[in-house]
Structure 1
Amino acid sequence: MNRSILALTAAAAFIGLAPVALAGEPQPWAFSFQHGVSPTMERIASLATFINGVIVVITLLVSGLLLYACTRFRADRNPKPATWSHNTPLEIVWTAIPAVILLLIAIPSFRLLYFMDKVQDADMTLKIVGHQWYWSYEYPDHDVRFDSNMVQAEDLKPGQPRLLTADNALVVPVGVPIRLQMTADDVIHSWSVPAFGVKTDTVPGRLNETWVQVDKPGDYHGQCSQLCGVNHGFMPIHVKAVPKEEFTAWLAQAKTKFARIDGTRPGTSVALATRGEDRP
């Protein structure tokens, strides 16, 4: 009896904590989006739920009408086929109803696109540069810049996801609107973090802009989502969202950790400086 109660308690605790602890990474057999932690992702999930509801209603309606037509107008019940060819009121109705449905979907869709595109009074700016095959992050307001490379499988610590963990995570404060400016120095990449609802191409010679506000602390993961070469699958995005006080403390350490080293470009970490320009 005690074992059963203990097992049920543990299962309940796991179910309750799993969405929070595992929100920032993909899960086996996942059925829906990753748990959203930004206003953008919450709106994306809400719109997707609404559209899926519309799809279900349409599917049930069409299936019901099809079943009715197959039953009501089958050959043994209608040995002599009807001779009419069209019905003007019916044609108006089945043209008007889909138009209304499209408007019901289009209006919230355009509102979401505008919300995603317009930077919401950003308190800080982050510059993201895609390379073959790693990311560079720059905090222009704080004079910090560093590279972020994938941690190899043999160097992973317990609990770190394979192919998604980076040696230098992008650290951001919780609850702060952040302007994201993205570009690339070689080919097109795509900076994508599902929990944020952000997926923006980084294009050489072009500066793309979007924004994000992470509302819950934690580690969040993404990957390059634009086929960019042989190591496309080995340039993860690792974001660590922390409270504002912790972010301020990290900035003070980062200005020392990522300081200029003789023979390297500004912002290159000590680990990269000692092993040269080799990439995974």
Structure 2
Amino acid sequence: MRKISMLTGLMSSLLAAPAIAQDLEVVGRPHQGGIGFQPAATELARDLQWLDGMLLIIITAICVLVVGLLIYAFIRYNRRSNPNPSAFTHNTPVEVAWTVGPILILVVIGAFSLPILFKQQEIPEGDVIVKVTGYQWYWGYEYVGEDLAYDSYMIGAPATGGDNRLTPAVEEQLVEAGYTRDEWLLATDTSVVVPVGATVVMQVTGADVIHSWTIPAFGVKQDAVPGRIAELWFEAEREGVYFGQCSELCGISHAYMPITVKVVSQEAYDAWLAASKEEGWYTDVRQYLASS
């Protein structure tokens, strides 16, 4: 069934190839030597990145204070400077300080982090609802309320005719799908397609073992646990292609289980959804971008 559906989708893409006018900008992609976050494409991601920066300032201040106190103690109370050390069992002001100080720090951290956590966990009503199921080793997507469901494999995986190696044939598949060889291990044969500015709710579950659906640029990560359905949500603010990967060790091919999300205009999304439902399979969204 998978092969028949894949061939049908491929035939549709080939027939529609002359209509493909432009590709989306690749926004959410790791960069060689990069040490920062991916560009935030949602309010959730911006909040998380801001919280990370604030915590870094607090942690740095604590480390500087502790190191400073250690250096002071080394200099002031070494054997040469203090040959006759004092003998005492406790110091009330110091004990109060090292008890109250951490409490205040944790209160400050909680005052800023808990609202961000609640914002992630309070799932709003979705404009688009997608059920995502993790399999060994691919993803299945079902648009709830729409007659559309399909699977998503890494380009170059055995299911797409590869053997998890970057061969010339796999590179050709990448180019035909609108990707570059640098996006191997990230690009998939089908993608999650959502409209920009819409509230998207993902219902996440697993079919065999625990997986994890993650898009760093959206600031979302949710374990896919067999027998349970969890939810996450995001509202993408910028059109483009965003990458993620399974973030829970799930077996021998865990490294070959990427995620691709394409955020498009509402017009392009509506056209893509109608065409995909008519075909009964995922169609290439690129052919609808020029007119949107």
TM-score bin, normalised by smaller chain? 0.7 to 0.9
| CA distance in 2 between partners of 1:123 and 1:228 (Å) | 31
User: Does 2:82 match 1:78?
Assistant: yes
Alpha-carbon distance in structure 1 between the residues aligned to 2:109 and 2:224: 29
CA distance in structure 1 between the aligned counterparts of 2:109 and 2:27, rounded to whole angstroms: 28
2:134–2:224: 8 Å Cα contact kept in structure 1? yes
Q: Is the 8 A contact 1:172 1:239 kept in 2?
A: yes
User: Secondary structure of the residue that 2:203 maps to in structure 1?
Assistant: strand
| Letter paired with 1:244 | Q
Q: Which residue of 2 aligns with 1:174?
A: 196
Corresponding position of 1:189: 211
Q: Following the alignment from structure 1 to structure 2, what is the Cα–Cα distance between the partners of residues 222 and 213?
A: 16
SS at match of 1:156: helix
Can you list the C-alpha shifts for 1:84-135, whole angstroms capped at 9, x where unaligned? 3322122111210011111111222222221111113322211111112111
Q: Deviations over 1:211-261 (max 9, x none)?
A: 11111110001111112222221121010001111111111211123x1xx
Q: Give the deviation of 1:22 after TM superposition.
A: 5.4
Shift of 1:174: 0.6
The 4+ residue runs of structure 1 with deviation greater than 4 A are none
Kindly provide the CA deviation profile for residues 141-163 of structure 1, in whole angstroms up to 9, marking residues without a partner as x: 32211111111142221525001
Letter in 1 for 2:41: V
> 1:132–1:229: 8 Å Cα contact kept in structure 2?
yes
1:156 and 2:160 equivalent? no
Cα distance in structure 2, aligned partners of 1:189 and 1:65: 45
TM-score, structure 1 as length reference: 0.81
Matches within 5 A, 1:18-167: 23-152=27-156, 153=166, 154=170, 155-157=173-175, 159=180, 161-167=183-189
Measured in 1, the distance between the counterparts of 2:257 and 2:89 equals: 61
The CA deviation at 1:21 is 5.5
- Matched position secondary structure for 2:114: helix
Letter in 2 for 1:186: D
Please give the TM-score of this superposition, normalised by the length of structure 2: 0.78
Task: Kindly report the root-mean-square deviation, in angstroms, between the aligned alpha carbons of the 2 structures.
Answer: 1.8
Cα 1:241/1:93, change in 2 over 3 Å: same
Contact 1:191/1:200, CA 8 A, preserved across alignment: yes
Query: 2: distance between equivalents of 1:227 and 1:198?
Result: 17
Q: Secondary structure at the match of 1:129?
A: strand
**In 2 relative to 1, CA 123–21 (structure 1 residues): closer, same or farther, beyond 3 Å?**
closer
Structure 1 gap segments, 5+ residues each: 1-19, 260-266, 271-280
Which residue does the alignment assign to 1:10?
none
Structure 2 residue runs without a partner (length 5+) = 1-23, 157-165, 284-292
Deviates more, 1:211-220 or 1:133-142: 133-142
